[in-house]
Structure 1
Amino acid sequence: MTAAVAGTVGVLVVLAALGGHTLVNAGRWLRRPDDRPAEVTETVAVLLPLRDEATRVTPCLRSLLAQRGVPGLRIVVLDDGSTDGTADVVRAVAGDDPRVTLLTGAGLPPGWLGKPHACHQLARRADPAATVLAFVDADVVLTTPYALAAAVGELRAARVTLLSPYPRILVATAADRLVQPLLQWLWLTFLPLRAMERSARPSLAAAGGQFLVVDRAGYDAAGGHATVRDKVLEDVELARTVKRAGGRIALADGSRLAACRMYDTWPELRDGYTKSLWSTFGHPGAAAVVLALLGLLYVAPPLVAVIALAAGAPTVAALAGTGYLLGVAGRVVSARATGGRWWPDALAHPVSVVVLGWLTVRSYHLRKRHRLSWRGRPVG
């Protein structure tokens, strides 16, 4: 066996193992909230932080007001220094609905980032009777009237402190289709979901801040958002904080409950990922290792297949082509499991990994030069 064949076979073995792990995660361990949940008897406070969201908040707030099966629903909205009339839009949509409270955010204290501070204020001002807090971003729309009841029901059924029901990520542009599906693909492929739930290790944690449901007592015991005041990835760090305090966390497929269009334009998407990818990987050396492995597993096979064909090495070309297809298959499994688009987008998976690598390098580059910002505020 030549070195090229042996190396390609090694990559195939790893890809097959990762594909099997994705299948098990998606088919067995990924939680799926009940489509017909029981009525929630607890008081639930939905917390909605807003900063310059006048063009987005209307469908989000309307979907919250349309929720059923949660008689004790309270909606607390915080206008965090908006300059586009966001508060006026909230007043127009909510009208005189007694379930809605609109707050004006305080100035950003030293040492805090914007979103953790907004969430901290919301949690402190939520109805004291609320035993469950649901953090929802303005770009999220609950797509069924029983979404909140289903999410709270799953939180209690799973007996966890924090549940992250990942929304269906909406894609419209080529950039969306290349980058956004990687969110679900990464944790379904590389994170052992059942071990994450059972293990007390903070390093085994994931969460999506677009839609988070937490037990209030556990949230308070962990210190809430005050403990992640300076964290760019406050959602993941909050999950880790909950674990450190003795709580448990879980991920769920929320694609039947909610949908989210995170970014409207390529510059927004680019800058949104750039602001936080450095925090995802931590040390630049760790990022380099991870990106090299991703490149070896998902980018190299199609390139090797083309080169091998041109060089008259059909065996290597066939093996490398199989590796490419295994990578595509993993992307298909993750998309189908989370309500995403898989055809023909999964075929471009190697390109997606390359774009992720570029965004990561850009993130470290701009952070080193103290040029990272979001919504007019510096981060990182």
Structure 2
Amino acid sequence: MGATEWIGAGSLAAWVWLALGQGFFWRTDVRLPARADPERWPPVAVVVPARDEAAVLPVSLPSLLAQKYPGRAEVVLVDDGSTDGTGELARELAGRGGLPLTVTEPGEPEPGWTGKLWAVRHGMALVRERGDAEYVLLTDADIAHSPDSLRELVAAARSAELDLVSQMARLRVVSFWERLIVPAFVYFFAQLYPFRWVNRPGARTAAAAGGCVLLRRAVAERAGLPDSIRHAVIDDVTLARAVRRAGGRIWLGLGDRVESVRPYAGLGTLWRMVSRSAYAQLRHNPLLLAGTVAGLALVYLAPPAALAAGLAAGSATTAALGGVAWAVMAGTYLPMLRYYGQPLWLAPLLPCTALLYLLMTVDSAVQHYRGRGAAWKGRTYGAPGAS
């Protein structure tokens, strides 16, 4: 066998293993577990960290204030140094009725804190002072909830005795670049953290989706949250790991009742969304970066390359290996495209999307070594050891 045949065979073997041995990550049927109404609906506080979110707040915040929750619930919006009138707009929206809303400001983050977790800390401290909330729903300012979202989350947590229930919000997919990149974002996330593995009691894999996390307050305090993860750029996954280390039971799945309303109209905004945290995901480790680039190349870029090389050289074996690997890859992507209501012809384009993600990851490392670190909304964060 020549080099191209070995590469094609290695890629096909990788895809057979991924399709069958990686927790069936490609399936999209992991939804809220079976649930029943509890005898008593516990009090819940919804904490919303918000920084310059006036553009999306008129859609997202009313959906929280309009929650049909049978128990007592309140919303705390933490205005994290916004300059676009986020806090004032939130107060205006609250005047239209619904759940009680508190708007508070935490001040600038202390050294060693990321901005979002500093805001979450302030919101959770306020909830703790008021005393009786058994659960805290952490949700981003760009997430809109259906009227029964909070009710269903709490019912699932109570019925399955879960300490953390997280739903991956359905992201906005309208523009060309959103169609090309957004479904793949969720697909890659599920590949890294297969939902079935996350939901297995005592499993090593732990993850959450930061846009929608229902958290039992007692377990959060036992885990020292959010202080114990104050430096985390990828705060949702780090939070889930802290809950699991504290003995909590976690659950993660795709959302039916939560949607992101944030638009990513151009490639630049999507690029920044991924690159701001990609190198942090690799623990700022150049060896992990090199391994990731090599792995992405073998798994996603080698199949079409082997097919093209085989056809050009007249090698049926190389072409077949590359073609079958590409077909398996595209097949595993189809369920995610259906979940997002996208045309299935996008599935064979997954290698192109993977190449973009590879470049975003490399760019994330370059920005880190240039001293820019993970940058978001005017703040830059270095590696935890530099804080």
Structure 2 vs 1, CA of residues 148 and 21 (structure 1 numbering), >3 Å: closer, same or farther? farther
Does residue 141 of the first structure (1) align with residue 152 of the second (2)? no
Residues 58-102 of structure 1: CA deviation (Å, up to 9, x unaligned):
111111122113431211111111111111211111106461111
Q: Distance in 2 between matches of 1:40 and 1:12?
A: 52
Instruction: Give, in angstroms, the shift of residue 200 of structure 1.
Output: 4.2
Q: Distance in 2 between matches of 1:3 and 1:17?
A: 21
Does residue 315 of the first structure (1) align with residue 317 of the second (2)? yes
- CA-atom RMSD in angstroms: 2.5
Q: Distance in 1 between matches of 2:249 and 2:227?
A: 19
Q: Are the equivalent residues in 2 in contact too, given 1:22–1:333 (CA < 8 A)?
A: no
Aligned residue number for residue 61 of structure 2: 61
Segment of structure 1 superposing worse, 3-12 or 297-306: 3-12
| Structure 2, gaps ≥5 residues long | 383-387
Q: Which amino acid aligns with 2:45?
A: A
In the superposition, the TM-score normalised over structure 1's length comes to 0.91
Partner secondary structure for residue 75 of structure 1:
strand
Instruction: Give, in angstroms, the shift of residue 110 of structure 1.
Output: 1.6
- What pairs up with 1:82-93 in 2 under 5 angstroms? 82-93=82-93
Structure 2 vs 1, CA of residues 148 and 40 (structure 1 numbering), >3 Å: closer, same or farther? farther
Partner secondary structure for residue 358 of structure 1:
helix
Q: Between Structure 1 and Structure 2, how many residues are aligned?
A: 376
Q: Which amino acid aligns with 2:136?
A: L
Residues 315-364 of structure 1: CA deviation (Å, up to 9, x unaligned):
3212211111111111113444x546352322210011111111111111
Q: Are the equivalent residues in 2 in contact too, given 1:34–1:150 (CA < 8 A)?
A: no
Partner secondary structure for residue 49 of structure 2:
strand
Does residue 224 of the first structure (1) align with residue 225 of the second (2)? yes
Q: Distance in 1 between matches of 2:225 and 2:122?
A: 10
Q: Distance in 2 between matches of 1:272 and 1:11?
A: 28
Structure 2 vs 1, CA of residues 112 and 2 (structure 1 numbering), >3 Å: closer, same or farther? closer
Instruction: Give, in angstroms, the shift of residue 312 of structure 1.
Output: 1.3
Instruction: Give, in angstroms, the shift of residue 176 of structure 1.
Output: 2.0
Q: Are the equivalent residues in 1 in contact too, given 2:199–2:250 (CA < 8 A)?
A: yes
Aligned residue number for residue 304 of structure 2: 302
Residues 212-246 of structure 1: CA deviation (Å, up to 9, x unaligned):
11111101110111111111111111111112212
Does residue 43 of the first structure (1) align with residue 46 of the second (2)? no
Residues 91-131 of structure 1: CA deviation (Å, up to 9, x unaligned):
11110646111112222212211000001111111242110
Q: Distance in 2 between matches of 1:312 and 1:132?
A: 63
Partner secondary structure for residue 179 of structure 1:
helix
Q: Distance in 1 between matches of 2:132 and 2:237?
A: 27
Does residue 132 of the first structure (1) align with residue 135 of the second (2)? yes
Q: Distance in 2 between matches of 1:258 and 1:40?
A: 24
Q: Which amino acid aligns with 1:41?
A: W
Q: Are the equivalent residues in 1 in contact too, given 2:15–2:299 (CA < 8 A)?
A: yes
Residues 187-228 of structure 1: CA deviation (Å, up to 9, x unaligned):
433434444334646x62211111111111101110111111
Instruction: Give, in angstroms, the shift of residue 293 of structure 1.
Output: 1.4
Q: Distance in 1 between matches of 2:5 and 2:332?
A: 22
- What pairs up with 1:171-190 in 2 under 5 angstroms? 171-190=173-192
Partner secondary structure for residue 76 of structure 1:
strand
- What pairs up with 1:232-271 in 2 under 5 angstroms? 232-254=233-255, 256-264=256-264, 265-271=266-272
Segment of structure 1 superposing worse, 185-194 or 347-356: 185-194
Match of 2:326 among 321, 324, 340: 324
Instruction: Give, in angstroms, the shift of residue 375 of structure 1.
Output: 0.9
Residues 157-190 of structure 1: CA deviation (Å, up to 9, x unaligned):
3322212111111122333223222332124334
Q: Are the equivalent residues in 1 in contact too, given 2:34–2:159 (CA < 8 A)?
A: no
Q: Distance in 1 between matches of 2:332 and 2:77?
A: 39
Q: Distance in 2 between matches of 1:170 and 1:33?
A: 24
Aligned residue number for residue 73 of structure 1: 73
Structure 2 vs 1, CA of residues 178 and 95 (structure 1 numbering), >3 Å: closer, same or farther? same
Q: Distance in 2 between matches of 1:121 and 1:28?
A: 35
Aligned residue number for residue 385 of structure 2: none
Residues 3-49 of structure 1: CA deviation (Å, up to 9, x unaligned):
64455334323212312346845659824356996797111111111
Q: Distance in 1 between matches of 2:21 and 2:341?
A: 19
Q: Distance in 2 between matches of 1:4 and 1:38?
A: 59
Does residue 102 of the first structure (1) align with residue 88 of the second (2)? no
Q: Which amino acid aligns with 1:302?
A: P
| Structure 1, gaps ≥5 residues long | none
Segment of structure 1 superposing worse, 189-198 or 345-354: 189-198
Partner secondary structure for residue 359 of structure 2:
helix
Partner secondary structure for residue 91 of structure 2:
helix
Partner secondary structure for residue 166 of structure 1:
strand
Q: Identity across aligned pairs (percent)? A: 31
Instruction: Give, in angstroms, the shift of residue 2 of structure 1.
Output: 5.9
Q: Which amino acid aligns with 1:159?
A: E
